[in-house]
Every structure is written in structure tokens, then in C-alpha cells.
Amino acid sequence: DAKTTQPPSMDCAEGRAANLPCNHSTISGNEYVYWYRQIHSQGPQYIIHGLKNNETNEMASLIITEDRKSSTLILPHATLRDTAVYYCIVRVGTDMRFGAGTRLTVKP
Amino acid sequence: DVKVTQSSRYLVKRTGEKVFLECVQDMDHENMFWYRQDPGLGLRLIYFSYDVKMKEKGDIPEGYSVSREKKERFSLILESASTNQTSMYLCASSFEVVGTDTQYFGPGTRLTVL
């Protein structure tokens, strides 16, 4: 059962903001929203996570809607090295289940 | 920065061989995990460990065993490798926290069993 829905692919111009959406309409009150990315043939890289509030770190910002049914990951100034598959996961405890993700391609 | 390292990036073994995959983390994390990742199947948890000498089966433990003799090191053992164990193997570690944990992954080992 997929807990999240993401577009299969997106393109972004280098230097522009990349906004990656995620729907999680069945999220439970104690589930966190996590984002990871995976560059081809490498291990997943943690980006950011949140429960209710918007979050920002050195890599990205996470915007969670008030009803928590969807979220958006924002890479403020995308570079070619941000080309990867981005996974949105809702989870609690140590459960870690990746869906198909969004393949983001950053173009020069 | 959290650093999780795995002993090999690429490994080729023959059917029936005993295979050791090593994982080391340098952040004093209590939890360590072994996953395999296959196209179309996502991540599947093989084993995890909450503490030294502790281990718990994940979703697909058959054909695998693990060892955690030191806090920073978690080994995955394939007792007798088979072709259906050809996969990308990922190690992860995390702190024990209330609610959920943030898992940090190693670079992965791509194992091919011939």
C-alpha cells in the first residue's frame, strides 16, 4: 500500500527553485514526513523531515499543509548535482518504505 | 556529518560462497539496519539491531545472518550465496529517539552472485 503519491518525473532549470510535491492524504497524527534522495547507484541521502510545521535546513525547505495531507520539498537553487530520485515517505518508528519517488532532472 | 561506510561498493561472488558485508558508522548510533534494494520492490529490511549483540529480524531475513559485536559495526552474512541474492545492499544507522528515527545510509554494496 503506497502511503504517498509523487509525480514520476520533473524537470527543473539550473539555478531555479525545484518544487517537488507529495500527497499523503491518509497520514496519521503521529507520522512524520521524510524526504530522501538517491543519486544513481548510491545510497539514499537524508534531506529533511517534519511533523506539522514547515522546516528548513541547509539543503532544502519542507512545506506541510495545515491538514497534513500534502507537502512540498523545495530546493531553492537547483544545481546539476541535484539530479536524483526524490522519495517522500510518511513514517513512524523505524519503518522505512520507499515508493517509486520523483525523478528530478536539473537541466543547464 | 554522519558517516556510514560499507566495505565494498561492488562485489562479485559465486553461488555457495559465504559472503561478508561490513558496515561501520562513526556517530555512536544505537540502531543499525541492513536493507536490500531491488528495482520495483523498493527497500526491504533484512535485519536490524538496537544495541551491541542484539538483533531483530526484518521482513526478509531468510538466507542472511548478522553480527554486532561492537556498537559501530554491523555485519551482514550470506551463509551460502544464491543468485536471487544479487542486489544492492544498504546499511543505515540512527539514534534512538521518541517518535521516529532519522536513518543515515551508507553508499551501498552492489552484490552480484554468479
- Check pLDDT > 60 for residue A1: no
Distance between A44 CA and the closest CA of chain B, angstroms: 6
Please answer whether residues B93 and B29 qualify as being in contact, where contact means their C-beta atoms are separated by less than 8 angstroms: yes
User: What mean pLDDT do residues B7-31 have?
Assistant: 96
User: What mean pLDDT do residues A77-95 have?
Assistant: 93
d(CA B65, CA B35): 12
Query: Across the interface, which of A46, A93, A98 has its CB nearest the CB of B43?
Result: A98
Partners of B110 on chain A (C-beta within 8 Å) are 41
Going by C-beta distance under 8 Å and a sequence separation of 6 or more, which residues neighbour residue B56?
Answer: B47, B48, B49, B50
Please answer whether residues A13 and A67 qualify as being in contact, where contact means their C-beta atoms are separated by less than 8 angstroms: no
Task: Identify the residue whose cell numbers are 518508528.
Answer: A93
Confidence tier at A40 by pLDDT (50, 70, 90): confident
- Check pLDDT > 90 for residue A93: no
Question: What pLDDT does A21 receive?
Answer: 98
Q: Where are the alpha helices (DSSP H) in chain A?
A: none
Render pLDDT for B71-107 as a digit per residue (tens, 0 to 9): 999 999 999 999 999 999 999 999 877 778 899 999 9
- A43–B110: do the CB atoms touch at under 8 Å? no
Question: What pLDDT does A2 receive?
Answer: 58
Distance between B80 CA and the closest CA of chain A, angstroms: 25
**All cell numbers assigned to A91:** 513514517
Question: What pLDDT does B89 receive?
Answer: 98
Render pLDDT for B38-69 as a digit per residue (tens, 0 to 9): 988 889 999 999 999 999 999 999 999 999 99
- Check pLDDT > 70 for residue A83: yes
Question: What pLDDT does B72 receive?
Answer: 96
Query: Across the interface, which of B45, B48, B106 has its CB nearest the CB of A43?
Result: B106
Question: What pLDDT does A87 receive?
Answer: 96
Distance between A33 CA and the closest CA of chain B, angstroms: 10
